[in-house]
Amino acid sequence: MTDATVPEEELAKKPSKLPMIIGLVLALVGGGGGFFAVSSGLLFGGGDHGETQHAEDEHVVDSGPLPDISFVSMPQIVVTLGPGSLNKNLIFRADLEVPKGKVADVEMIMPRVVDVLNSYLRALEPRDIEKPSSLVRLRAQMLRRIQLVAGEDRVRDLLVMEFVLN
């Protein structure tokens, strides 16, 4: 048999497009329903993402008046590290955050503050300073010592401006 002997009935029969049309309609309805469910908050517990984002932006921009503070710069402290250290010197400089009314008091006792920090930094072991995570702990220790000397109501925070090992 050759190809010419195929009955014309089989050639006239085309596959139905109905399943493809039904699939397309269901996909469109499902996509629209999914979009509605997510945007209305039925899924993922959200909704009105634009409004909450706008409210968060307003909160960041309008955070109220700045606190009544000043910054007092401390002189640079250079500490020679002991034997066994990978580095020879520690160069340290910081600013103190103080209430505006206490600036004169803190400037007056600055030599005592520098002395306390100098003594503390010289007493540290090289391994205490050389760890990458040690700055957070050292900062807290130095702030506590400064607050003991100056008074907690005079110094609010210690801002490390320079901490260089060389």
Predicted local distance difference test score (pLDDT) of residue 74: 96
Burial of 145: CB neighbours in 10 Å, binned 0-12, 13-18, 19+: middle
- Residue 24, pLDDT > 60, answer yes
Taking only the tens place, the pLDDT of each residue in 46-67 is 545 555 555 555 555 556 787 8
Domain boundaries, the chain: 3-61, 69-165
Nearest Cα residue to 87 out of 163, 154, 147, 18:
163
Q: Which has the minimum average pLDDT: 20-29, 48-57, 69-78?
A: 48-57
- Residue 42, pLDDT > 90, answer no
Tokens of 38: 């997510």
Task: State the architecture of 69-165 in CATH terms.
Answer: 2-Layer Sandwich (3.30)
Predicted local distance difference test score (pLDDT) of residue 63: 67
Please, are residues 154 and 102 in contact by the beta-carbon 8 Å criterion? yes
Q: What is the CA radius of gyration of the chain?
A: 36
CA distance 103 to 96: 10
- Residue 9, pLDDT > 70, answer no
Taking only the tens place, the pLDDT of each residue in 85-122 is 777 888 999 999 999 999 999 999 999 999 999 999 98
Predicted local distance difference test score (pLDDT) of residue 139: 93
The one-character DSSP state at 155 is -
- The 3-state secondary structure of 2-48 reads CHHHCCHHHHHCCCCCHHHHHHHHHHHHHHHHHHHHHHHCCCCCCCC
- Residue 154, pLDDT > 90, answer yes
